[in-house]
Structure 1
Amino acid sequence: MSAPAAPKPDTGAATGQPVRSFPKPKFTDAEAGALDFPSSKSRSYNYFKPAKMRATTYEDVTFDVQPDPERHLSQGWIYGFADGPGGYPKDWTALKSSDWHQFRDPNEEWEQTIFRNNANVVRQVQQNLANAKLSDAYASWTPSWSTFVQRNLGAWMHAENGLGLHVFTAAQRSAPTNMLNNAICVNSAHKMRFAQDLALYNLDLTDTIEGFDGAVHRDVWHNDPVWQGVRENVELLTAEGDWAEAVFATNIIFEQLVGVLFRSLLVMQIAARNGDYVTPSLVGSGEHDYNRDLGYTRTLLRLLVNDEEHGEANRELLGRWSDKWIPLSLAAARELQPIWSQPQERHVPFQDSFNTAKAGLRTVLEDLKIPVSKELDA
């Protein structure tokens, strides 16, 4: 018995429609959605080299979030500006790096830590202020200290807000990697949160202390000769277009010579002697923020001054920036001298505080191998 004949392919004669054929897909495990591919079973990323043996959560959620043509965008930046190059040009700072992606924030700041850390600080500040009201802590303030706080701590609020809003907010957009953006952005958030803490504290004192003038800080910031050097210094920092110079001049020079001088070497030293145990807890949170911000700044600068290709040129440039900004901050610090004599109780002479601030800056510069300006010896 012969086998049945194979069915003839449908040529479309029965329906009058041509029959089309399509190639069958061939999966190579290279396309998106492939069931099995290299590292498909891994729970960690492998497109970057972690700082240690294993990547941290900070690295996983931060590294390469902002693409870079030098690493992944083979077609170049996918967006640009009408009057300039695309993306994040590296010539937005005169400092150079063989690889900006080597930077790692020692604080390992990412979205979760930003909210958690700042929420903890705000919660602590609010609890301290609430407890101060309940215990009538402000009743022990001397009249001269009340005047000192309303004028000078209020004026410092403007410096913090100006730096946060107009220096670090701009710098974080200009930095060439997401790792840098995150660290500088957190720096901005620290400054603005501390300025807001000071503003709320000012309102609290206005409602609690009889005769406390909660509006005088505006006139002090604009017109008091003692504060005009600080104001000029801050405004010049906000006008600096080189993002790395702005960060260096603020976190290394201004903060060491003026910020630490006022916050730590004056307010936190003499507040308790004038019956005030509340203000140091508030100002201490700002000082803690600065210590974290100084940490990432030193890490960044250490990377740049030790760069095999550009290290020497970077050190020379940072030395020139020091010569430019140190005289401004020294002048601002010296003009603050009269406020050392305003509180009734004081035990730290201005010159001692000033020398300590200069020594702190000198230590930072020497650690980073940056030439120390002769102005510090004056």
Structure 2
Amino acid sequence: MTQPAIAQPLKTWSHLAARRRKPSEYEIVSTNLHYTTDRPDAPFELDPNFPPAQWYKTYRNDCPLKHPDWNAFRDPDEMVYRTYNMLQDGQENYVFGLFDQFSERGHDAMLERSWVRHLARIYTPVRYLFHTLQMGSAYLCQMAPASTISNVATYQTADSLRWLTHTAYRTRELAKSFDDHGFGTGERTIWETDSAWQGFRELVEKGLAAYDWGEHFVALNLVARPALEEAVLRGLGQAARHNGDTLLGLLCDAQLLDADRHRRWTSALVAMMLEAEGNRQVLNGWLAKWAPLGDAAIDAYSTRLPDARDGANAAKGAVAAYRRGLGLGA
């Protein structure tokens, strides 16, 4: 009598076996971690009609962007929690070294009062903008269809919080040096009412209400973040240097290093999306909706920068060139 064959047990990390090599640390700790994608009809393996399941089915599973294997996405930097903390520990040491060195040399006492007034209007309120970007990245982390996408969104969330805390620290320093400019007390009113910020406020607040994960990705990573990077980080950094504020220029440079990494994974994800038929039209359709809001945000902010030197057109041109480099039309 023939004995039935004994099923061979799966090897550790069997979902990576097709590569026929030992998985890297990145692959082991980053891939295929979302249990909510195992059963599309019941994302949480509970009642398929309870509200969280309905939300994921509507705004993730039914997203117009399609791909046969979202889990194939890989972060170009292969960042993991351990290496992210190592990298950003060094960045934080650098940033707080800047704070210490410029404080010791009496940096704030050398600033022109006219520039200090600009800082109260066009710099310290940016922590509200950073917070909305933090919330947007956190939502993308929750809704992305693959854990490798969620991971890079998580690091992007953490970077936005780091930017916020750097701005808050600098705001407190300015408040101690200039107690008559509303530093630390007047930013909310400026964020909600000042014309310099209303374009960005409309863009990011509407972006937070874009619940489809794909549209949210477009509004956040292809429109809002590039607009902020070019108009605020790059434009403000240049204006700061023109006005003797080397510290702010260096802080913006440090944040642009993070932004470059965000763009690398965004570019890789867009390239993956464009592999599937129909996705280019979907992406360009969303860009047609959101890009005008990004341009309006750049215009409103850049025209309030001193010594901008046609900063609005330069920023909009850089954003448009970035999206063209991705193979997108808007």
- Normalising by structure 2, what TM-score? 0.87
Distance, in Å, in 2 between the alignment partners of 1:197 and 1:52 is 45
Match of 2:323 in 1: 365
Deviation at 1:86, TM superposition (A): 7.9
Sequence identity percentage: 21
Distance, in Å, in 2 between the alignment partners of 1:357 and 1:53 is 45
Match of 2:225 in 1: 255
Distance 1:324 1:138, change over 3 A: same
Quick check: 1:248–1:297 contact (8 Å CA) kept in 2? Answer: no
Match of 1:158 in 2: 128
Give the secondary-structure state (helix, strand or coil) at the position aligned to 2:304: helix
Match of 1:356 in 2: 314
Structure 2 counterpart of 1:282, one-letter code: L
Give the secondary-structure state (helix, strand or coil) at the position aligned to 2:246: coil
Distance, in Å, in 2 between the alignment partners of 1:338 and 1:205 is 24
- Whether 1:139 and 2:102 are equivalent positions in the alignment is no
Distance 1:80 1:144, change over 3 A: farther
Structure 2 counterpart of 1:252, one-letter code: L
- Whether 1:115 and 2:85 are equivalent positions in the alignment is yes
Structure 2 counterpart of 1:317, one-letter code: V
Distance, in Å, in 2 between the alignment partners of 1:153 and 1:303 is 36
Structure 1 counterpart of 2:294, one-letter code: S
Deviation at 1:210, TM superposition (A): 5.4
Match of 1:13 in 2: none
- Whether 1:299 and 2:264 are equivalent positions in the alignment is no
Distance, in Å, in 2 between the alignment partners of 1:367 and 1:99 is 24
Distance 1:64 1:106, change over 3 A: same
| C-alpha RMSD over aligned residues | 2.8
Distance, in Å, in 2 between the alignment partners of 1:50 and 1:38 is 13
Structure 2 counterpart of 1:292, one-letter code: R
Quick check: 2:109–2:177 contact (8 Å CA) kept in 1? Answer: no
Match of 2:199 in 1: 229
Match of 2:155 in 1: 186
Runs of at least 5 residues in structure 2 that lack an aligned partner in the other structure: none
- Normalising by structure 1, what TM-score? 0.77
Structure 2 counterpart of 1:58, one-letter code: Y
Deviation at 1:52, TM superposition (A): 9.6
- Written as runs of structure 1 = structure 2, the 5 A alignment for 1:191-340 is 191-209=160-178, 211-214=180-183, 215-264=185-234, 266-307=235-276, 311=277, 313-340=278-305
Cα shift readout 1:89-109 (whole Å, capped 9, x = no counterpart): 442532111110110011222
- Whether 1:78 and 2:40 are equivalent positions in the alignment is no
Distance, in Å, in 2 between the alignment partners of 1:69 and 1:236 is 27
Match of 1:130 in 2: 100
Distance 1:357 1:80, change over 3 A: farther
Deviation at 1:258, TM superposition (A): 3.9
Distance 1:51 1:339, change over 3 A: farther
Q: Which moved more, 1:118-127 or 1:186-195?
A: 118-127
Distance 1:225 1:52, change over 3 A: farther
Higher helix share: 2
Q: Which moved more, 1:173-182 or 1:327-336?
A: 327-336
